[in-house]
Amino acid sequence: MSGSTNARSLFARVALAVAACPLALASAAGEAPHMHLPTNAAAHAGEILVRVQARTPAELDRAIDAASSVVSCRPSLARTDLTISPADLARLAQSGVRSEVLHTDVSVLIAQEQAQIAASRLQRGADWYETYKTQAEFEAKIDALAAAYPALVTIETIGNSIQGKPIRMMRITAPGGSTAKPQILFNGCQHAREWVSPATVMFIAEELMSSYGSRPETTAALDGIEFLIVPMVNPDGYEYSWTNQRLWRKNRRNNGNGTTGVDLNRNWAYEWGGTGSSGSGSSDTYRGTSPFSEPETQALRDLIIAEPGIRAHVDFHSFSQLVLWPFGYDFVDAPEPDKSLFEELGTEMSDAIFGHSGFFYDPIRSSDLYPAAGDASDWVYGDQGVFSYTFELRDTGLDGFELPAEFIRPTVEENFEAVLVMSDFVTEPVRVSQTSPEGGFAAPNALVPISVDVLPVFESATDVTLHQRVGSSGAFDASSLSASGATWSGMLTTGACGEAIEYYLEITTDQGLTVLEPAGGAMAPATMAVLDSELGLFDDAEIDTGWTVGASGDTASTGIWELANPVGTAAQPEDDHTPSGTLCWVTGASATSLGSNDIDNGGTTLVSPPMDAATAPSFDQADAYVSYSRWYSNDQGQSPNADEMVVSISGDNGSTWQTLETVRSNANAWVRAEFRVADFVTPSDQVRLRFVASDIGGGSIVEAAIDDVAIDFRGCEAVSACVADVTTTGTANGTPDGAVDLSDFSYYLSLWSAAATTADVTTTGTANGVPDGSVDLSDFSYYLSLWSAGCP
Ligand code: 0X9
Ligand code: ZN
């Protein structure tokens, strides 16, 4: 141990390490010099900062076990910086672990570090979310927001901490609107050391107000919702984590037996006292003497009971990047439909975060993290029926509670996106999902079943009316859907081929609200194309119609495509897809066990013969669709999910290829895939399909099969116009009615006498039905000949 270290040069070295890896020392500091210095450095008094050079993972483990805290972002064999007591360092050295002393008193170092950061902080811009803030600065920020947005926010004190600090709430909404707006509650900082939590909740308040009127989603949220925002439930603990002990978690209750602090997130009454909470005052998860024994949890509880319309809540924590929902006390689900709603909304919020920043917050049930009884969300949901989530903010453990300050802003911003999703949710009285029909096509003059799931959320559906029409003008016809549970069903009626139908649903709730789906109603209805469909080709693979197995570049040694009757395993089908058939294209049909004769060592290629996707047998104009049934399995064995099957299409007999799909989903079942040919290649009579199934990852089990390849055409039958038919029976109106009679003749005569352009049916002197721009005798005699002949 070297006591003769030069403090100045050591400080420079540690500062460098901190710059490259902004961890504990840098983020633990960050306070102006005139405030309490040294802040939480005292807890580290007498600790030595060492750099361990471990020779084996076991040595590194020993060093980390002995450490008071690990400073390096990424502990490595070559170099891991940690703090340690002199006695523990001596023991470590005796056990043979090499280390170099960087500083003999970490608390001095923290103080120096802090002074340096405080100085640089004074020079930086005014971004409040660039550094962590003290409890006093949170107080000041709330006052500043109240002054800046008097029309949007009022400040209330919902209670006092055990040491008498006010627990303050911002009540935020836009002026006007309903007197009974739905409410959302956000709180932060039940846990003191989770510094990014109160920062996030403060940011939500500020962003709601500062982007009101400029961002449409925020504007809608504040117009329709009242937000109750409590950034800091545990001000005493937060303060203590600055002044005394950076990693303090609980409140500051004197437990009377020499221990301090109750874990507020074990103090809520729902299933209080169960798993994951401790009865010992010295524990970090001490639940307290009784449910709601603490003034901090009482304050939040009383608020929730008193407010009339809280529909959703988030309790913000760090770290682990999780979106958690009840229950947390044990592996118990909320009853339906809440269970599904928790999962859906949780996933949507996670998606919104991911969409904004690319950071993934895993949406799971709380108890699947670990069972812990007495948490806030369990009571808020279980006792009060409010959709309550617990968020664990960044990171996933690299820096943990001491998330470097540079990540505050990205963290708070990504979570605001989740807030907007939750805002949408609380204004939806019901959830509409899984509308059928899917696919967007229906046959002419047909009844098409439609069904829709309407889940009750804050209200329930009492009536669902289907509004539909043929074409895009005219009135909508209304009909009632009938309910079976949450599923409402009825029929869409299609008309003539080529005439799309339009429809929307009108849902009436038990509170008398109306919800339209799609939201635009008659202004922006759903549409469905009405077309005939005609089979062009169907290859059921019961005989080989001219397929090619193998291509240059194929390296698979087993599991080569073949036309065969497959032997079923856990990865390979037992039956082909054709109901009446036995054969399909399969990668190695024989098998004695799972993975025997699967694809190994590379790719195997299967190419179809040329197929006609250009000529629809009887349609005027048609769109060709190619479809096939595929089997794909790759989630068993070693390196699961490392492989793929690429399906391509050629419009030029195999000269060039376009990818249709890359199959990675392990359905382990027959799945039908369909594509519109023109979306990929120009439809021709030289269309080929190519299936390349590969084993890329070593040792994996890859099985694929193809069956029932089809080409379908969608369009309308060619209709031969009946030129002589110009009126509906007895009515001179120009609309064909399918019969050629006297009314047609006299109507044509009137058109011809008036020299109407519609009477122009021939070029001069030629009886050919082609208009020439003049209405003369040749037109009349041509019409007469058509009329005499009647319609075909
Ligand atoms: O343990 C907690 O209170 C939360 N994690 S933290 O690291 N922020 O302390 C998680 C609470 C989730 N709820 C349950 N698992 N019951
Ligand atoms: Zn926490």
- Where are the strands (E) in 651-719, listed by range? 658-663, 671-676, 688-694, 703-717
Ligand 1 atom with least separation from CA of 249: 9
Find the DSSP H helices in 394-497. 408-426
B/e letters for 263-279, b = 16+ CB within 10 Å, e = fewer, are bbbbbbbbbbebebbee
Whole-angstrom CA distances from 746 to 484, 734, 787 are 56, 11, 11
- Residues annotated as catalytic (active site), given as ranges: 392
Backbone φ and ψ of 168, nearest 5°: -105, 150
More confident position, 275 or 739: 275
Is the torsion defined by CA of 159, 160, 166, 167 positive or negative? negative
- Which among 189, 191, 234, 285 is the best mutation to test ligand 1's pocket, defined by most ligand atoms within 8 Å of the CB? 191
Domains of the chain, first to last: 7-118 (3.30.70.340), 139-426 (3.40.630.10), 430-527 (2.60.40.10), 535-717 (2.60.120.200), 720-792 (no CATH)
- 690 C-beta closer than 6 A to ligand 1: no
* Whole-number percent of the chain with pLDDT over 90: 57
Choose among 112, 197, 661: nearest CA to 401. Answer: 197
Q: Whose C-alpha lies nearest to ligand 1, atom 4?
A: 317
Report angle CA 466, 472, 473 to the nearest 5 degrees.
95
Q: Give the residue carrying structure tokens 């360092």.
A: 89
Average pLDDT over residues 98-120: 67
Is the torsion defined by CA of 45, 51, 56, 60 positive or negative? positive
Q: Whose C-alpha lies nearest to ligand 1, atom 16?
A: 328
| Distance of CA 315 from the midpoint of ligand 1 (Å) | 10
Looking at all shown ligands, the one closest to residue 233's CA atom is: 2
pLDDT of 717 higher than 70:
yes
- 727 C-beta closer than 6 A to ligand 1: no
Least confident of 212-216, 528-532, 608-612, 656-660: 528-532
Q: Bridge partners of 763?
A: 766
pLDDT digits (tens, 9 = 90+) for 51-74: 888 888 888 888 888 887 765 544
| Distance of CA 235 from the midpoint of ligand 2 (Å) | 14
Report angle CA 152, 155, 161 to the nearest 5 degrees.
150
User: What residues contact residue 540 under an 8 Å CB cut-off, 6+ apart?
Assistant: 578, 581, 707, 708
More confident position, 59 or 230: 230
- 317 C-beta closer than 6 A to ligand 1: yes
What DSSP letter does each residue of 179-194 carry, written as one string?
SS--EEEEEE-SSTT-
The pLDDT confidence band at residue 167, using thresholds 50, 70 and 90, is very high
Q: Whose C-alpha lies nearest to ligand 1, atom 2?
A: 265
- 397 C-beta closer than 6 A to ligand 1: no
Ligand 1 atom with least separation from CA of 392: 8
Report angle CA 249, 244, 21 to the nearest 5 degrees.
80
Q: Is 26 helix (H, G, I), strand (E, B) or coil?
A: helix
Looking at all shown ligands, the one closest to residue 188's CA atom is: 2
The average confidence (pLDDT) of the chain is 86
- 328 C-beta closer than 6 A to ligand 1: yes
Find the DSSP H helices in 215-292. 216-224, 235-243
- Which among 267, 369, 378, 396 is the best mutation to test ligand 1's pocket, defined by most ligand atoms within 8 Å of the CB? 369
Residue type, 493: T
| Distance of CA 782 from the midpoint of ligand 2 (Å) | 89
* Whole-number percent of the chain with pLDDT over 70: 89
pLDDT the model gives residue 401: 79
Q: Give the residue carrying structure tokens 């600065």.
A: 137
More confident position, 103 or 144: 144
Long-range contacts of 475-484 (CB under 8 A, 24+ apart): 476/502, 476/503, 476/504, 476/522, 476/525, 478/506, 481/450, 481/451, 481/452, 481/505
